[in-house]
Amino acid sequence: MEKMPPSASVPQVATASATRGERHWLRSTMLGVIGLVAIGLGYYLLRGNATNGHADDSGDDPTSLKALLFRGWNKPDLAIVLSGQSKGFLQECGCSHPQKGGLARRFNLIQSLKDKGWPVVPVDLGEIAQKGGPQAMLKYETAMKALDLMGYKAIGLGEPELLMPLTEALAHSSLNNPNPRPLAANLKGLEKGNTFFDDYNVRPYEIVNAGTLKVGVVSVVGSRVSEPVEEALPAELGIKFLRNDKVLPGVLTKVGGDKTDFNVLLYQGLEREAKLAAKTLHEEHAKDPGVAGVHLVFCLTEFDEPPGALTRSQDFPNTSLVTIGHKGRYAGVVGVWRTPRGLELRYQLVPLGPEYESPAGKEKDNPVMALMETYAQRVKDGGFLSKYPRSKHPLIQADKRFKDAYYVGSEVCASCHKHATKVWKESAHSHAFDALVKAKNPRQREFDGECVKCHTIGFDYLKGYNDPQGAAANDMPLKEHNELLRHVGCESCHGPGSEHAAKSRNADLYPLINPYRASGEERDAKTTPERKQQLHEQRMKRIDIFCQDCHDSDNDVHWGKTSFEEKWIGRRIIHMTPKSKD
């Protein structure tokens, strides 16, 4: 990369290539990366297989990856911790191991850096909230409290927060809380003389002192986010945005007046848009050194998995770009050192895996864990389980003759389907609800609808788990109705079974309650083996997609490790009668 002369406002960022010492650092870094890959590969090869096609609960690998992180780093003059796009994920669900993410683990990462004596400045890009759902506001409020506990001073505002709408989100989290401060330099209403959003604690930028360095943090919302937000919200809410290229030079001039040493731009836009902004700001600074230069641009990404390096370009030679992935699985750490040639930057992507769990017996050292217990208690006390919307099951939608169908529980099915029941009882599905009851850190998952939906029968549908209409149809109290529908049972896949239980010989129901049965063409002896295999693979794919409603990449990290057919047949989830040839 071509080197550019240092400027008065932007100390030159050293690139890793020129000196012998830097080449040694590069080799060390590459060895560290190779080591991480090797350990990770070894872990995946050695760990136990998931059983019965369910989320794997095998033991965690004892090897700690933490020892390989920050290899070759001396104490930096500044450590910027990056997070963003967590999308309402407060914690890993715990249904499989080793999952990544969680606010409590991020707290432990930040604390471990502080324990080294590093000056730490955490910043969050935004998209902290999830889009919709009964618990969205409570989760956002909880996340903001967690960020405060971690020492965050500045955060961006993402689309989910803006659509809550923003004023409601701010009223819950920022109105009376100085930290973390929401930033949005191009939000209309922050102009000189207008105090509307200022009263809600929103500012164009924030200055943070860390060690011997002064850090400027600025945030803007790019057009990719601002335009759909403006269209979606009623005009009377006043959520409007100015063009960021018209706002940023003036804001960065003010930042420059504060004599900052390192400046971060939180850019609510994808990398392509952020690169254009970085190029423009580089040119603005070149024309007028009074416009503070930006050293780091942190922007949105469409991908869950982030790259492990900063992006550089000759269009903005003293600025680095970074993304951090989705759902809080990773944090990024940018180390900054003063050198005779200017500032040197190094970057470490940190997977927030089990290595950052609080050791048993030391949970009290992590205040975020106590916060999560409070969150779980508030979910229970607030009766959020009853606030989830329900829809008609596809079986009922498909045929109006079955509009009165309701859930009866797996024990009713067991009276006829003895072989299927035996297979089911030998699987983890038959005691799935117990995992919620036994969960710790936090407890009381059985009252959290985001967990309950995958551990009970029919929670998303009318007359399913925790629906008084279902209890009335079964002529029993809601508590007893819920006991019938605990765990993942027959009706989780086959739909409400009352009509089939009443008229088991009604053939009109068969295609509706068993939509994944082999078709007549697949079972026909005249069908060629090649065509049979094609039809079989298509059917396996459809069932796989259905199962991934719960066994998605967040909840079951091993689902894609083996073929679905191996899970479905080889691990005995399939429950055809022994006499069947299907």
pLDDT tens-digit map of 218-229: 999 999 999 999
Do 408 and 320 share a structural domain?
no
> Nearest to residue 98, comparing CAs of 53, 52, 65, 146?
65
In the prediction, which pLDDT does 578 show? 65
**Number of independent structural domains in the chain:** 2
- Residue 578 belongs to some domain of the structure: no
Q: Which residues contact 87 (CB under 8 A, 6 or more apart)?
A: 127, 128, 129, 130, 131, 160, 326, 327, 328
Do 461 and 545 share a structural domain?
yes
- Residue 4 belongs to some domain of the structure: no
Residue 66 has pLDDT above 90, yes or no: no
Do 564 and 499 share a structural domain?
yes
> Nearest to residue 162, comparing CAs of 105, 67, 108, 231?
231
Which of 377, 407, 442 is where one domain is finished?
Answer: 377
In the prediction, which pLDDT does 194 show? 66
N-to-C CA span, the chain = 62
Angle of the 166-173 helix axis to the 136-150 helix axis, nearest 10:
50
Determine the Cα–Cα distance for residues 215 and 121; give it in Å rounded to an integer: 8
Do 390 and 338 share a structural domain?
no
Q: Which amino acid is at 428?
A: A
Percent of the chain residues past pLDDT 70, beyond the cut: 87
Do 55 and 165 share a structural domain?
yes
Contact 113/65 with Cβ under 8 angstroms? Answer: no
Do 485 and 372 share a structural domain?
no
> Nearest to residue 375, comparing CAs of 121, 38, 89, 17?
89
* Between residues 38 and 239, the one the model is more confident about: 239
Question: CB 198: neighbour CB atoms within 10 A?
Answer: 13
Do 278 and 426 share a structural domain?
no
Structure tokens, 303: 């991908």
Residue 394: pLDDT band by 50, 70, 90 thresholds? very high
Token pair 């936090």: residue: 442
Element (H, E) at 398: helix 394-398
Segment 400-412, tens digit of pLDDT? 899 999 999 999 9
In the prediction, which pLDDT does 391 show? 96
* Between residues 581 and 435, the one the model is more confident about: 435
Residue 571: pLDDT band by 50, 70, 90 thresholds? low
> Nearest to residue 112, comparing CAs of 155, 64, 145, 156?
64
Do 346 and 202 share a structural domain?
yes
pTM for the whole thing?
0.87
In total, the chain counts a number of residues equal to: 582
In the prediction, which pLDDT does 59 show? 42
- Residue 6 belongs to some domain of the structure: no
Residue 157 has pLDDT above 80, yes or no: yes
- Residue 154 belongs to some domain of the structure: yes
- Residue 327 belongs to some domain of the structure: yes
> Nearest to residue 510, comparing CAs of 522, 497, 492?
497
Segment 307-328, tens digit of pLDDT? 999 999 999 999 999 999 999 9
Residue 581 has pLDDT above 60, yes or no: no
What does the pLDDT average to over 544-555? 92
Do 250 and 206 share a structural domain?
yes
Determine the Cα–Cα distance for residues 39 and 31; give it in Å rounded to an integer: 12
Do 392 and 337 share a structural domain?
no
Token pair 């191009």: residue: 186
Q: What rounded mean pLDDT belongs to the chain?
A: 88
Rg over alpha carbons for the chain, rounded to the nearest Å, is 27
What does the pLDDT average to over 141-160? 98
- Residue 288 belongs to some domain of the structure: yes
- Residue 186 belongs to some domain of the structure: yes
In the prediction, which pLDDT does 193 show? 61
> Nearest to residue 298, comparing CAs of 264, 333, 255?
264
Which of 377, 395, 417 is where one domain is finished?
Answer: 377
For position 110, which CATH number holds? 3.60.21.10
Contact 423/352 with Cβ under 8 angstroms? Answer: no
- Residue 580 belongs to some domain of the structure: no
Which of 16-25, 140-149, 272-281, 522-531 has the lowest average pLDDT?
16-25
Cα four-point dihedral sign 366, 371, 377, 383 = negative
* Residue 513 domain boundaries: 383-570
What is the pairing mode between strands 213-221 and 205-210?
antiparallel
Determine the Cα–Cα distance for residues 580 and 582; give it in Å rounded to an integer: 5
Do 543 and 417 share a structural domain?
yes
Segment 17-59, tens digit of pLDDT? 333 333 333 443 443 444 444 434 333 333 333 333 344 434 4
Do 235 and 108 share a structural domain?
yes
Token pair 């090797």: residue: 38
> Nearest to residue 273, comparing CAs of 240, 229, 231, 226?
226
Which of 335, 360, 377 is where one domain is finished?
Answer: 377
| DSSP H helical ranges for 191-239 | 196-199, 223-232
Widest pairwise Cα distance in the chain: 85
456 beta partners? 486
For position 413, which CATH number holds? 1.10.1130
